[in-house]
Structure 1
Amino acid sequence: MATIRKRERKDGSATYQVRWLQGGRGGTWESEPFGDEDSAEQFKKLVDAHGQQWPHGWIKGRGFVEPDTHPGDVPIADYATRYIDRLTGIEERTREDYHREVRLHFSVLKHTGPSGQQQPATICNLTQDDVTDWVRAEEAGERDPDDAEKWKRRPADPKSVANRHGLLFCIVQAAMDADPQLRTANCCKRTKLPRVDNHVQEEMTFLEREEYRRIAVEMTDPDARDLADWLVGTGMRWGEATALKVSDLNLTGERPSASIQRAWKKAKKGARGGAFYLGPPKTQKARRLLRLSPVQVDMARRLVTGLKPDDYVFRAAMGGAWRHANFYNRKWLPAVKAAVEKGLPKRPRLHDLRHTHVAWLIAARIPLPAIQNRLGHESIQTTVDRYGHLVQGLDDDIATAVEAVMGVPVPRSGLRQVV
């Protein structure tokens, strides 16, 4: 007869191990662990019913494994890895980020079969319920079984869950589009994801003009002050502004502008030594022509005087391009700290200058599509999702416009009375 041995963990939980002599007396000891006593009891009965043998169709450590539904079926992680390797039109650092997501998070995916037993997820057996269970597991995280105070896998925030689910959606879709076809439906299509805006703390910080001025006056390095003024005044990304060259500026004519054609990128580990290099902007629409104000034209003229066309507009002390870490730690953080000590109620990040630029444009009644073009967002939905809540200041204008149209009574003459 098979027996059940209970083993307690340090955190107070327990595992249940079913043990038996394979084939009875004279056989070798076999065992199978379970997380709850009921499952262990059910398996013990199966072993006894099979004459102290492994139950037919049961794979050690996996449970009852259903036969593959397709000859091309493979573990989901393997299929995802091949899919990412074949992607075109992406940077190598992005490819490495995708591979990391697969290694760390797709391993959590499990398939629960009709018998209720969990099995490794494959590209063919994955179901909508499996994806939902995975999303919930990502939200909850996983404690270290040996130390309840530590995390084996930390809870994921809603945005990270949505990004990983989006990658899985594309991978499953590729299985549907494959020849021969591996799937007939996308099990990620109807997943209900956690709300991205369901945060207690606001991710973005918006500065009033006076609040930005209080930080700026604490920046004693005039070159650093110029770069900060440019970032908040143009809304350019850090990698775009610091990659700007003299040849990118048009400071004459009626429409002076800056042409954004490149940005700093960080190579993945092992490539270029993990160093920064110049590449294309973040998206196709990030290649754009940015109109400059008279104040920005005056600044640019002052900065580029005597420089060559291939020189950077914004330069560090040694004449090279600024590095984010140096600027942030040596220029931005000290200025913010000094302003906070003098009463500034916010601690903005450097990227919040881009958010602040948008807030100022919205306050000036600039439409969101125009802001989308200025920021270089690929989709208007990105602009709406991030900054749409700031447009509430236009409610009075909208109400006035509606009243102007609807407040005029409709003439009654010439209308037929309906009885």
Structure 2
Amino acid sequence: MTDISDHTRTNYTRFIDNHMIPWFGQMTVSDRGAKITRDHVSRWVLDLRHGRSGPLHPPGTVRRSYAPKTIANLHGLLYSILQSAVEADPSLRDSNPCAHTRLPKGNDTEDDEVFLEPGEYALLKTHVRPDAADIIEALVSTGLRWGEVTALQPRDFTFASKRPTLRVQRAWKRRGEGGTFLGAPKTKKSRRTLVLTSAQVKLFQRLCKGRQPTDLVFTAPGGGAWHSGVFHAHRWKPALDAANAAGLTKRPRIHDLRHTHASWLIAGRVPLPVIQARLGHESITTTVDRYGHLLESSDDEVVAAVEWAMSAAATERDFSEAA
């Protein structure tokens, strides 16, 4: 694969070593010899789901069960490997045994994302330490990813215009051997421009004051970039614990501030294509799949629009018949 980062390549290699080799290590991707069949793939999926070890695991190996989403990700990687064999040479393999696997479904009652109401966010914010309040405010008010907001620099802002904006031009990336570096955003659509509210302009102008164009806007107390693990352990988790003790019933992740931002836009009747562009989703399908269930609040508008159109059509028909 030529379009992935070193960090992703390292992860894929680890997934293969830990979650595929113990099941398929003595098999071949071709149709010759000990080939991988649909039955092998199905048994592998079931073993992952129920925490069972593979045929090549050492005796006594203890495995944990995996969630449907994790299994789907691993299955997708295996599918890609075998599909490469199919596409490389039809005589090597003429079909993909992963093509028709029935994967486990998630719990319909389980909500992967947590959406905060404005009042719930206000409660949480009162328990955030002062040196973390600005970054929390920026995350929830822009919908940027952690790696994007912590990579912001003064040169990314345009304040002296009729409509102030923020341009997402870089994000923190992980190296394959460990560590991070500033690189391009996640996808082409992630390189985007966001309009700013007057409150955001005041926030970012204050943060940019006295900084050089290429300085980081958000820095840790000791200087330098915030580390996500440090921020979570020493800023986010203590704030959540205090907010929960004060009555907050939800336990959002930092990334859920992005979901919260999207839910507020939907509640404000912002069209999904606009939300897609603001969040930097590569496809509108991603936006619909993730936030479509929040559109129930628009049912009244849908009913009104359909009734108006049908009423207008009926009036036009009656007029034509009378003529």
- TM-score for both structures, normalised by structure 1: 0.69
| Residue 295, structure 1, aligned to residue 205, structure 2 | no
Q: Distance in 2 between matches of 1:351 and 1:311?
A: 24
Structure 1: 5+ residue stretches without partners = 1-86, 111-118
| Residue 211, structure 1, aligned to residue 120, structure 2 | yes
Match of 1:98 in 2: 12
Q: Distance in 1 between matches of 2:53 and 2:23?
A: 17
RMSD of aligned Cα (Å): 2.3
Aligned counterpart in structure 1 of residue 165 of structure 2, from 231, 252, 257: 257
Is the CA contact 1:175–1:181 (under 8 Å) kept in the aligned structure 2?
Answer: no
Q: Distance in 2 between matches of 1:377 and 1:412?
A: 46
- Superposed displacement of residue 262, structure 1: 1.4
Aligned counterpart in structure 2 of residue 198 of structure 1, from 93, 107, 130: 107
| Greater Rg over alpha carbons, structure | 1
| Residue 234, structure 1, aligned to residue 138, structure 2 | no
- Superposed displacement of residue 362, structure 1: 0.8
Residue type matched to 1:172 in 2?
Answer: L
Structure 2 residue matching 1:313: 3-state secondary structure: coil
Is the CA contact 2:115–2:263 (under 8 Å) kept in the aligned structure 1?
Answer: yes
- Superposed displacement of residue 317, structure 1: 1.9
Q: CA distance change for structure 1 residues 291 and 181 in 2, over 3 Å: closer, same or farther?
A: farther
Structure 1 residue matching 2:194: 3-state secondary structure: strand
Residue type matched to 1:127 in 2?
Answer: T
- Superposed displacement of residue 258, structure 1: 1.4
Q: Distance in 2 between matches of 1:181 and 1:277?
A: 43
Residue type matched to 2:28 in 1?
Answer: T
Q: Distance in 2 between matches of 1:300 and 1:312?
A: 12
Q: Distance in 1 between matches of 2:86 and 2:146?
A: 39
Is the CA contact 2:23–2:54 (under 8 Å) kept in the aligned structure 1?
Answer: no
- Superposed displacement of residue 108, structure 1: 4.8
Q: Distance in 2 between matches of 1:413 and 1:383?
A: 42
Task: Map residues 42-121 of structure 1 onto 2, 5 A cutoff.
Answer: 87-109=1-23, 120-121=26-27
Task: Map residues 165-176 of structure 1 onto 2, 5 A cutoff.
Answer: 165-176=75-86
Q: Distance in 1 between matches of 2:129 and 2:40?
A: 56
Match of 1:374 in 2: 278
Q: Distance in 1 between matches of 2:117 and 2:206?
A: 27
Match of 1:398 in 2: 302
- Superposed displacement of residue 129, structure 1: 2.9
1:156-205 per-residue CA deviation (whole Å, 9 max, x = no partner) reads: 1111111111111211111112147411122222222222x425432211
1:366-398 per-residue CA deviation (whole Å, 9 max, x = no partner) reads: 122211111111222222222111111111211
Structure 2 residue matching 1:284: 3-state secondary structure: coil
Match of 1:25 in 2: none
- Superposed displacement of residue 151, structure 1: 6.8
Structure 2 residue matching 1:152: 3-state secondary structure: coil
State how many pairs are aligned: 311
1:322-364 per-residue CA deviation (whole Å, 9 max, x = no partner) reads: 2212222222222222221111111222111111101101111
Residue type matched to 1:296 in 2?
Answer: Q
Which structure has greater helix proportion? 2
Structure 1 residue matching 2:62: 3-state secondary structure: strand
Q: Distance in 1 between matches of 2:91 and 2:190?
A: 36
Residue type matched to 1:355 in 2?
Answer: H
Residue type matched to 2:117 in 1?
Answer: E
Which structure has greater strand proportion? 1
Residue type matched to 2:302 in 1?
Answer: I
1:128-162 per-residue CA deviation (whole Å, 9 max, x = no partner) reads: 333223222221221699xxxx9722211111111
Q: CA distance change for structure 1 residues 217 and 413 in 2, over 3 Å: closer, same or farther?
A: closer
Match of 1:224 in 2: 132
Match of 1:279 in 2: 183
- Superposed displacement of residue 120, structure 1: 4.0
Return the structure number with greater relative CO, CA threshold 8 A, min gap 6.
2
Structure 2 residue matching 1:354: 3-state secondary structure: helix
| Residue 314, structure 1, aligned to residue 223, structure 2 | no
Structure 2: 5+ residue stretches without partners = none
Task: Map residues 356-367 of structure 1 onto 2, 5 A cutoff.
Answer: 356-367=260-271
Q: CA distance change for structure 1 residues 305 and 175 in 2, over 3 Å: closer, same or farther?
A: same
1:84-143 per-residue CA deviation (whole Å, 9 max, x = no partner) reads: xxx212111100111111111113545xxxxxxxx9432122223332232222212216
| Residue 122, structure 1, aligned to residue 31, structure 2 | no
- TM-score for both structures, normalised by structure 2: 0.89
